[in-house]
Amino acid sequence: MKKTLIYAHRGASKIAPENTLPAYQLASESGADGLEIDVQLTKDRVPVIIHDESVHRTTNGTGFVQDYTLEQMKKLDAGSWFSTNFSDCSILTLDEFLCWFQPLSMVLNVELKTNVIEYKDIELIVYNALKHHQMLDRTVLSSFNLNSITKIHDIDPNVQTAFLTSTKRYNLEKFAKHHGASSLHVKYRLLDKRLVKQCHSISMPIRVYTVNRPLYMQKCFKLRCDGIFTDVPHEAVEYRQKFQNRGD
Ligand code: G3P
């Protein structure tokens, strides 16, 4: 029986600032199977790892990512908002992240943050970076924006894509497939036995976000979801082990 993969959501984001190198380093040491990163584009069109369109919440800056050049972006402190222990953290470029990640034997989920701002050509820019780092075979590219999914599918129909959604819809898995998605990433509250069965009946992996509570993890493991995204990868790995030992 295939196990449910554990993806560290923005890294080990409960114990280090999200989407920074320390968060990813800690997650890589946790025994998690994969990491999840969020990508946006700077003014000079460099893919950088940050969740929000604005730098306000997770740095000491203000304004939008798209209005910063990479040089300006690199000057921001991306750790002190979380704890002064992380005051030397800067925002990572996708290239820096992939150089670090490539030698690890983990899988990757890149979320294209195109649901608010449709960064021109972000799909091709990110695809080319993944190709350059020989990462295409162990990466899932996801987005809440179906246009991004369709664009990636058009660039390379063999690349793994996922439609991200928190909205219930009739025949969700078929809808996602129709737009070029090879998998489905759903908010936990959408998860039920029927949806997992429907996805698996068309060989579509289903992964669930953001799963931090043991009870919710248990439901995902029990239903044989293909993956979960969690802020607490260390706990999820331990909990999955316990679950497997019980033989449920
Ligand atoms: O990719 C799963 C999860 O990251 C989606 O939600 O808001 O964290 O981007 P959000």
Mean pLDDT, residues 231-245 taken together: 95
The whole-number pLDDT of residue 214 equals 96
- Does the beta carbon of 68 lie inside 6 Å of ligand 1? no
Q: Residue 2: pLDDT above 90?
A: no
**With a 6 A CB cut-off, is 144 part of the ligand 1 pocket?**
no
Whether residue 247 is predicted with pLDDT greater than 80 in this model: the reply is no
112-122 pLDDT per residue, tens: 999 999 999 99
Q: Is the pLDDT of residue 30 over 80?
A: yes
Using the mean position of ligand 1's atoms as its centre, give its distance from the Cα of residue 210 in Å. Answer: 7
Q: Provide the pLDDT for residue 159.
A: 98
What is the distance in A from the centroid of ligand 1 to the CA of 171? 22
Separation of CA 209 and ligand 1 centre (Å)? 7
Residue 36 has pLDDT above 80, yes or no: yes
> 231 CB under 6 A from ligand 1?
no
Rounded to an integer, what distance in angstroms lies between the CA atom of residue 27 and that of residue 194? 31
Q: Which residues are catalytic?
A: 9, 51
Please give the pLDDT value at position 210: 98
Q: From the CA of 11, how far away is ligand 1's center (Å)? A: 12
Query: Residue 52 has what pLDDT?
Result: 98
Q: How confident is the model at residue 248 (pLDDT cuts 50, 70, 90)?
A: low
pLDDT at 246: 84
Q: CA–CA distance from 198 to each of 48, 59, 98 (Å)?
A: 35, 41, 34
Average pLDDT over residues 27-35: 98
Domains of the chain with bracketed CATH: 5-246 (3.20.20.190)
Q: How far apart are the C-alpha atoms of 37 and 168, rounded to whole Å?
A: 24
Q: Is any ligand 1 atom within 6 A of the Cβ of residue 164? A: yes
The total number of residues written for the chain in this structure: 248
Over residues 149-170, mean pLDDT = 97
Atom of ligand 1 nearest to the CA of 207: 2
Nearest CA to ligand 1 atom 4: 9
DSSP code string of the chain:
-PPPEEEEETTTTTTS-TTSHHHHHHHHTTT-SEEEEEEEE-TT--EEE-SSSBSTTTSS--SBGGGS-HHHHHTS-SSTTT-GGGTT--PPBHHHHHHHHTTS--EEEEEE--SSS--TTHHHHHHHHHHHTT-GGGEEEEES-HHHHHHHHHH-TTSEEEEEE-S--TTHHHHHHHTT-SEEEEEGGG--HHHHHHHHHTT--EEEE---SHHHHHHHHHTT-SEEEES-HHHHHHHHHHHHHHT-
Q: Is the pLDDT of residue 54 over 80?
A: yes
Task: For 78-135, write each residue's pLDDT tens digit.
Answer: 999 999 999 999 999 999 999 999 999 999 999 999 999 999 999 999 999 999 999 9
Ligand 1, closest atom to CA 209?
A: 2
